[in-house]
Amino acid sequence: MELKRVVVTGLGALTPIGNTVSEYWDGLVSGKSGAKNITYFDASNFKTQFACELKGFNAEDFMDRKLARKMDRFAQYAIVSSEEAIADSRLIEDGVDKDRIGVIWGAGIGGLETFQNEVLGFAAGNGTPRFNPFMIPKMIPDIAPGIISIRNGFRGPNFATVSACASSANALIDGLNYIRLGHADVVVSGGSEAGVSISGIGGFNALHALSTRNDSPETASRPFDKERDGFVLGEGGGCLILEEYEHAKKRGAKIYAELIGGGLSADAHHMTAPHPEGIGAIKVMENCLRDANVDLKKIDTVNMHGTSTPLGDVAESKALYDVFGEHLYSMNINSTKSMTGHLLGAAGAVEAISSILSINNGVIPPTINHSTNDESIDQKINFTFNKAQNREVTYAMSNTFGFGGHNACVLFKKFEE
């Protein structure tokens, strides 16, 4: 069968460097760091005392206080980012068939803070079993797409994808395929995460995954730099409205880009470490290119997973050369995690928005905080260090890799009739 074309007709973002899409893009292009000392709890006894928190966010600016209290922060972020995207797309005002609109949403953990607080409350109560009646629905990752559908009356396919840091990229790929195969006209897709909490910081510290550069949080996320010492935890949400092309054309929708391919793979190597030769990363990019049926020499830019970890950055850089060969040196590579931190399950969607905006604006956001070359990383690669670069972008790829060896890759193209 002939697969249907899928385009992007709406965007929504809630990030540590901007609470709307326009603010997020401005932060990216200007090289803004979202890392600061943690304000949500007293982190003075933790190895890492900083994170990329949201700035100036109040859920009650967007929803009733009673509703906000029934949701974990990750679900609040899903509501806010999805409603910006839905409004941007004009879906509701155009009176589309809500039976044909799905919601597929990614979250790597879901309501981590809710579970943490309920357990702390139970322990403080000397074992008396007093739990919030909304504890379970606040925790489960699939409550986010559920609430989005309830608020908007969307009755199409509805579920959550969970693949650690690849979760929202997986959601985009599922959305792409549901529309391609004719199971939906529109899919509200993306992801959200709220891991900046006692258990989030403590757990990742125990894994030795986080940077401990407490004297300079703003420079702690430094992908591909020799002095990198781990990632910086971030939070937020990102949403893309994926729509079948003819459906979008019929209603005169604004089209940002076309989603032309998605790839998936597994490292099959280690619970938390990447394969040292980047085998899973190689496979996922090759699978994405094959799915899109695009010559690798047409790719202009890749927003790398690029977390700023000692092992991950080296493995992914090697994988890029294995996939693209000499063409790699004519591309722009970057890692927007240098600014936003690592949004875990929301990373794929938030970074996909950056790729789309690069296509629309002809600008590659920088990889900030680079000062010292790492001899184990190919220095002929243009990592777009420290300053945004102007470039016409027709094809933009975005990588996301998760604990457990889950890999997802999406490819966007400048829209043409």
Q: How confident is the model at residue 190 (pLDDT cuts 50, 70, 90)?
A: very high
Paired residues of 367 in beta bridges:
385
Q: Three-state DSSP class for 344? A: helix
CATH architecture under which domain 6-250 falls: 3-Layer(aba) Sandwich (3.40)
Q: Three-state DSSP class for 260? A: strand
pLDDT value of residue 127: 74
Instruction: Indicate which residue of 247, 275, 342, 406 is catalytic.
Output: 342
What percent of the chain is modeled with pLDDT above 90?
95
Residues 6+ apart with CB under 8 A from 70: 134, 137, 138
For the record, the structure tokens of 233 come out as 């935890």
35, 52 Cβ separation under 8 angstroms = yes
Separation of CA 121 from chain center: 31
Q: Is residue 370 annotated as part of the catalytic site, yes or no?
A: no
Residue 31's region, left for phi above 0, alpha for psi from -120 to 50, else beta, is left
CATH architecture under which domain 263-413 falls: 3-Layer(aba) Sandwich (3.40)
Backbone angles phi, psi at 6, to 5 degrees: -125, 125
Q: How far is CA 415 from CA 7, 54, 182, 245, in A?
A: 8, 32, 20, 10
d(CA 307, CA 70): 32
Helix runs in 153-211, H state only = 167-180, 198-206
Instruction: Indicate which residue of 52, 165, 288, 409 is catalytic.
Output: 165
Does residue 187 register a pLDDT over 90? yes
Q: How confident is the model at residue 244 (pLDDT cuts 50, 70, 90)?
A: very high
CATH 3.40.47.10 boundaries in the chain: 6-250, 263-413
Q: Is residue 239 annotated as part of the catalytic site, yes or no?
A: no
**For range 163-189, the mean pLDDT:** 98
Nearest to 278 by CA among 268, 265, 267: 267
43, 49 Cβ separation under 8 angstroms = yes
Q: How confident is the model at residue 343 (pLDDT cuts 50, 70, 90)?
A: very high
Paired residues of 332 in beta bridges:
301
pLDDT value of residue 94: 83
d(CA 246, CA 417): 10
What pLDDT digit, counting tens, does each position of 285-299 carry? 999 999 999 999 999
Q: How confident is the model at residue 166 (pLDDT cuts 50, 70, 90)?
A: very high
Q: How confident is the model at residue 239 (pLDDT cuts 50, 70, 90)?
A: very high
Q: Is residue 342 annotated as part of the catalytic site, yes or no?
A: yes
d(CA 138, CA 113): 10
Instruction: Indicate which residue of 52, 275, 288, 305 is catalytic.
Output: 305
Global pTM? 0.97
Rounded to 5, what percent of the chain is helix, strand, coil? Answer: 40, 20, 40
Burial grade of 45 (CB within 10 A; 0-12, 13-18, 19 or more): exposed
Q: How confident is the model at residue 57 (pLDDT cuts 50, 70, 90)?
A: very high
Separation of CA 315 from chain center: 20
**For range 127-142, the mean pLDDT:** 93
Q: Three-state DSSP class for 88? A: helix
d(CA 134, CA 242): 31
| Cα angle for residues 354, 358, 362 (degrees, 5° grid) | 160
Average predicted confidence (pLDDT) for the chain: 97
pLDDT value of residue 201: 98
Strand (E) or helix (H) holding 183: none
Instruction: Indicate the DSSP class of residue 218.
Output: G
Does residue 1 register a pLDDT over 80? no
pLDDT value of residue 362: 98
d(CA 74, CA 110): 6
**For range 324-332, the mean pLDDT:** 98
For the record, the structure tokens of 251 come out as 């209603």
Does residue 126 register a pLDDT over 80? no
What pLDDT digit, counting tens, does each position of 83-100 carry? 999 999 999 988 899 999
What pLDDT digit, counting tens, does each position of 12-34 carry? 999 999 999 999 999 999 999 99
Backbone angles phi, psi at 234, to 5 degrees: -125, 180
Residues 6+ apart with CB under 8 A from 47: 205, 210, 212
Q: Three-state DSSP class for 406? A: strand
Nearest to 156 by CA among 81, 105, 90: 105
d(CA 401, CA 166): 5
pLDDT value of residue 95: 87
